[in-house]
Structure 1
Amino acid sequence: MMGSTLRIFLGASLGTVLVVSPGWAQPVSPQAKTVCTAEAQPDRLQDLSSEGDLILVSGGLAKLAGLRLSDTPPYRDQALAWLRARFNEPVLVHAVAGPDRWNRKSVRIRSLDRTSPLDWSHGLIETGLAITDAGLDEVFCQPELLALEATARERRLGLWADDRYKPMDVNQPERLRDRIGSFALVEGRVRSIGERRQRTYLNFGGHWAEDFTIIIPRRTWKQMSDRGMGAEALKGQRIRARGILQSWQGTALSIVIPDMIERLEGGRLPR
């Protein structure tokens, strides 16, 4: 049975299929099930704002859910050119969340006028023009983006040819401090776990006041524990986390979407 797979359909309107191990299949929360399978609507991309946000013909601003574009040239320029090449294509737009504080909806978009319909998030991630990031989304509907990103990173496509985007080790504190305020991928082994009433802290060094820490709010920690990603599953594991690096007792990342933590030994953590 270990060689078999279980297929879970997410967002039927976008035709996305996630293949996972049967032992990792977890009940989907009512919120995630509702959001990720909501009906998509026809639309077109009319323009891009000066900040790179999508301006849809139907009105309002939007951003592609589950990813972030590079903030440095030439990769940002290449990603924006990729999007401009799709102006006025007929598409299906599936709203995942929003509006956020910048009045943007998080959306998934699929082109309609192609022999093989193109999921825009897939296209940007697999060519190395974007990084998987669901940190500002309410739910993460496309976990397959992590696998697409891993392939692009291994092939050194797009921004992954640049050392500044490659995962950093927790044992490089100076490099981490230099990246405070920036989005980063950080890898290391969980040394200890501090569970508190409102937050849980994953500690990666012997000096918690100086080393790297992952901060997880209570709600997210409960979601992780319900998936089998609690303290027993994480302690001693080498993992990769992603988010905005912040200055806190050394350096830290705050994680609100469980999928933004990946296990580096033995495959993906449970979903």
Structure 2
Amino acid sequence: MKLSVIIAAILLLASHSAALAAACQFESQGEGRVADVVDARSLRLDDGREVRLIGIEPTTTTKQALAAMLAGRDVSLRGTDDTPDRYGRQPALVFVGESDTSVQALLLSQGDAIVSAEIADKDCAAALMAAEAEARRGKKGSWADPSAIKNAESPDDILAGIGRFVVVEGKVLSVRQAGATTYLNFGRNWTRGFAVTISRRMVPAFESAGIVLKSLENRKIRVRGWVEGNAGPRIDALRVGQIELLGTN
């Protein structure tokens, strides 16, 4: 990808939504020059620091897009907590040069990444979701593939993605509680159908966000997360942002 194309994409993204550029500013966590793109979610600076890009999950094109965008570039880091993760990587939003638009938002707007829903700040989370939505509407990048969004009525297709981060859409047929877990069931067969699981400790967070779990019955939603399960696929909703309401039927 040519540098001129990248700059044009940044300018287009910033002009498309001023709110997108204004969000996700957070506290400065330092600056540096990119020495290497380690993998699809992390890079190494010339001072030896390794950085993990927060807020996104990679697609098959993320590493290539990052390498084209960041190789040898000066970047600044922003975030709410610079405590290294268990691999020694500093979690941060990354900005190229003087740009007010994060690399994460740019990747999302190109369809080269998926929102992870890990960022709790509402304005920042909304901005990243807006960038992803732009790519979905334009069928850019990974969203050009019709199978990029899984159908909740096709549990075998979802289960084939076990261990991967996926996006699923469908209607919640029932909401059931079993012990400390609430199940959003998308199929009549609770054992084999797709379901979203929500632990009791997460319920107050959903209610604070205006989502009463029982009210999701017969609602169409979009959910994102890591696929688990054996007979039937499951996604554990650990964050409110993993669930989006799409309609009333």
Q: Runs of 5+ in structure 2 lacking a partner?
A: 1-19
1:106 maps to which of 91, 94, 114: 91
Task: Show the 5 A alignment for 1:80-95.
Answer: 80-85=66-71, 87-95=72-80
The normalised TM-score by structure 2 is: 0.79
Letter in 2 for 1:39: E
Alpha-carbon distance, 1:181 to partner: 1.8
SS of 2:162's equivalent in the other structure is coil
Structure 2: how far apart are the matches of 1:150 and 1:76?
A: 17
Alpha-carbon distance, 1:256 to partner: 0.8
Going from structure 1 to structure 2, the CA distance change for 1:180 and 1:90 (only over 3 Å counts) comes to closer
SS of 1:123's equivalent in the other structure is helix
Aligned to 1:61: 50
Aligned to 1:40: 28
Alpha-carbon distance, 1:37 to partner: 7.4
Structure 1: how far apart are the matches of 2:179 and 2:232?
A: 22
Relative to its length, the structure with more helix (as a share) is 2
Alpha-carbon distance, 1:155 to partner: 0.7
Q: Quick check: 1:254 aligned with 2:243?
A: no
**Identity fraction in percent:** 29
SS of 2:84's equivalent in the other structure is coil
Letter in 1 for 2:108: I
Alpha-carbon distance, 1:132 to partner: 0.8
Alpha-carbon distance, 1:197 to partner: 4.5
Aligned to 2:204: 222
Aligned to 1:33: none
Structure 2: how far apart are the matches of 1:122 and 1:92?
A: 14
- 1:101-158 per-residue CA deviation (whole Å, 9 max, x = no partner) reads 33323211223435xx332111111111111113xx4735422211211111111111
Q: Runs of 5+ in structure 1 lacking a partner?
A: 1-13, 18-35, 267-271
- 1:46-102 per-residue CA deviation (whole Å, 9 max, x = no partner) reads 2335434122345432222110121x3xx23432323434x3314243244643333
Task: Show the 5 A alignment for 1:110-125.
Answer: 110-114=95-99, 117-125=100-108
Going from structure 1 to structure 2, the CA distance change for 1:218 and 1:236 (only over 3 Å counts) comes to same
Aligned length: 226
- 1:186-238 per-residue CA deviation (whole Å, 9 max, x = no partner) reads 11111111234532211111111110010112222220022221224312210
SS of 1:264's equivalent in the other structure is strand
Asked whether the 8 Å contact 2:29–2:78 carries over to 1, the reply is yes
The normalised TM-score by structure 1 is: 0.73
Asked whether the 8 Å contact 2:172–2:184 carries over to 1, the reply is yes
SS of 1:142's equivalent in the other structure is helix
Asked whether the 8 Å contact 1:212–1:252 carries over to 2, the reply is yes
Structure 2: how far apart are the matches of 1:50 and 1:258?
A: 30
